[in-house]
Amino acid sequence: MMGIAFFTRCLLVITYLNINNVREKTTEGDPIISDISFNGESLEVERDTTRDKYGENTITNHHCKSISVMKDENNHDQYILTECSGFQRPYYLGTDKR
């Protein structure tokens, strides 16, 4: 079971950024939608690429164990999910531009 610190951090980041889904656009402008929830132990990400004309056309589920905060080139905080099952790269959640 993940620690209370991880649970608190997940809750704060999701609430602070008002995240329950992330919408990406492909190069062609097609949407890729990810729904994010917390199951008490890990963040669950359901990634839907069925609207991407040239993509995988799948819905996949990933469980992520960690949230990282990195600075972008403008010194804004970027929130990234890491240690995600079945997902090779870190999963970008959003940027705090305040």
Residue with tokens 């062609």: 28
User: Torsion angle of alpha carbons 65, 92, 72, 7, nearest 10°?
Assistant: -30
CA angle centred on 14, ends 9 and 18, rounded to 5°: 150
Q: Is the pLDDT of residue 11 over 50?
A: yes
**pLDDT tens column, 63-83:** 888 878 888 888 888 878 888
Tokens, residue 24: 């990406």
Q: How far is CA 78 from the centre of its chain?
A: 11
Tokens, residue 64: 């992520």
**pLDDT tens column, 30-73:** 888 888 877 777 788 888 989 999 888 999 898 888 878 888 88
Q: Is the pLDDT of residue 2 over 50?
A: no
- Whether the pTM exceeds 0.95: the reply is no
Q: Higher confidence at residue 5 or residue 93?
A: 93
**With 0-12 CB in 10 A as exposed, 13-18 as middle and 19+ as buried, what is 15?**
exposed
